[in-house]
């Protein structure tokens, strides 16, 4: 397979992973802010859950981005 196509695919993959993680965390933060507005007394629980979920999203995104960069490193 052509090394240039692998490099382009890895770059596009890393970009899509970053875009997806950003959109996911943005939606999570919007939902957490809305829930806190509706139930201010549960703000601590909502914040804790939002932090855990954003860490999980970032973990998956980091794993995928590292995989893309490893693919681009094996082009030669």
pLDDT for position 2: 74
Q: How far, CA to CA in Å, does 46 sit from each of 3, 40, 43, 61?
A: 46, 9, 5, 22
CA dihedral 19, 23, 26, 28 (to 10 degrees): -130
22/33 Cα distance (integer angstroms): 16
For domain 3-69, the CATH architecture is Up-down Bundle (1.20)
**Hey, where are the domains in the chain?**
3-69
pTM over 0.85: no
pLDDT for position 45: 96
Residues 2-61 pLDDT 10s: 778 888 888 898 899 999 999 999 999 999 999 999 999 999 999 999 999 999 999 999
48/64 Cα distance (integer angstroms): 25
Please choose, from the candidates 5, 2, 9, the residue with its C-alpha nearest in 3D space to the C-alpha of residue 68: 9
């Amino acid at each position: 397979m052509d090394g240039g196509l692998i490099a382009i695919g890895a770059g596009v993959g890393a970009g899509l992973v970053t875009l997806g993680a950003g959109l996911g965390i943005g939606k999570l933060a919007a939902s957490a802010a809305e829930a806190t507005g509706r139930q201010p007394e549960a703000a601590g629980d909502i914040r804790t859950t939002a932090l855990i979920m954003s860490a999980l999203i970032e973990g998956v995104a980091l794993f995928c981005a590292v995989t893309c960069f490893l693919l681009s490193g094996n082009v030669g």
